[in-house]
Structure 1
Amino acid sequence: MFFFLDSEIRQLAYNLFPGGNKPIGVLVDLFSITYEIRKNMEKRSREFGLSYGQYIALCVLSAQRDEMSSPSTLAEKMGVSRAAISSMVISLEQDGYINKYDDPNDKRGVFVSLNDKGRGKIKQMDPFFIGLASRLMSDFSESEINQFQTYLSHVRSAFEDVKGYGLTDPKMTGDKWYED
């Protein structure tokens, strides 16, 4: 999908749909703001000496039982490829944020675990990211935040329903998706 960052490009996207298309407009705005937030988080993570993905990997590890995981499980939880997690694990291990252990049950397998330096890095970075989230949501009431979460859940659920369909799928006609 396109990332509509510039207001002129966003307006062009709106104009592509005669009579306007509110759902497209909302998605364009959603893509735009999430892209900008992600870009800023990546920039700020680099100021801490990690990529945003590496920070997330450390956070995911910290939430695991025993702060340990296989790289494939870590990749699945983060929604990234095994190749991406492999290079992340190498980098995080070289920088001393995680430890890597051979899997005693599988000679080809490994586990990675968070160590003190990794926990320290999370502790160092968390205040910024928690502060960012707090600031972004500071103008919303608790009720509005709950409603926003509900809306996002609806979008996620709808996306799960349609993500397997291709553009030429016969189940899609015009603006309607048809069930089997």
Structure 2
Amino acid sequence: MLQLRDLPTPETLQKFAQRYPEADISAISSFLHLLRVATDLSSALDECLQRHGLLQGRWWVLILLMREESLSSMPSTLADKAGVTRATMTGLLDGLERDGLVERIFDAQDRRRVSIRLTASGQARLDQVMPDYYSRLRLCMAGLDEAQRAQLQAMLGHIASNVDAFTR
């Protein structure tokens, strides 16, 4: 994915706004900064997880399974919760199973029906990753107090509610 490393100056944005009257300079600037920070956070998370031999997609699947009381879920449910296609989830699960971090449990009455369960090795991997992740996350968010964090979540919620403006 292309990452915009050089954000436009206010003068550059003004030039665009003169050509495109629909342009809202402060909205553009805020959006580009948010996109840049989100990209940087995702890259930093990738780097952190790679130290533990994980990729983000696989890590999220392990997290989703750990959230379940039974430590198991259906592949289609995992795909829905992760926001990926079922084919993508199958690929993630294949890799996790190959590494012994999850196991497929086939239904005794219907072998076509399968659930995915977090293994002891998968839990051990999470137990290795999560303290490091939480320490880094705490440092990343250290500049914001609780009120600012709540305000940030509210602002992000407002933005999230309008994301479909790009798809309508």
Higher relative contact order (CA 8 A, sep 6+): 2
Residue aligning to 1:17: 17
Q: What's the TM-score once normalised by structure 2's chain length?
A: 0.86
- Structure 2 gap segments, 5+ residues each: none
Provide the rounded CA distance (Å) in 2 between the counterparts of 1:68 and 1:101.
9
Pairs within 5 Å for 1:30-45: 30-45=34-49
Provide the rounded CA distance (Å) in 1 between the counterparts of 2:81 and 2:24.
37
Residue aligning to 1:168: none
| Stretch moving more, 14-23 or 97-106 | 14-23
SS in 2 for 1:25: helix
Q: What's the TM-score once normalised by structure 1's chain length?
A: 0.81
SS in 2 for 1:96: coil
- Structure 1 gap segments, 5+ residues each: 166-180
| Stretch moving more, 140-149 or 104-113 | 104-113
Provide the rounded CA distance (Å) in 2 between the counterparts of 1:3 and 1:106.
46
Give the letter aligned to residue 131 of structure 2.
P
Percentage identity across paired residues of the two chains: 24
Q: What do you get for the CA RMSD once the two structures are aligned?
A: 2.1
Residue aligning to 1:80: 84
SS in 2 for 1:17: helix
Q: How many residues align?
A: 161
Provide the rounded CA distance (Å) in 1 between the counterparts of 2:112 and 2:31.
43
Residue aligning to 2:50: 46
**1:72–1:134 Cα change, 3 Å:** same
Provide the rounded CA distance (Å) in 1 between the counterparts of 2:55 and 2:31.
26
SS in 2 for 1:101: strand
Provide the rounded CA distance (Å) in 1 between the counterparts of 2:116 and 2:106.
9
Answer yes or no: is 1:152 the counterpart of 2:156: yes
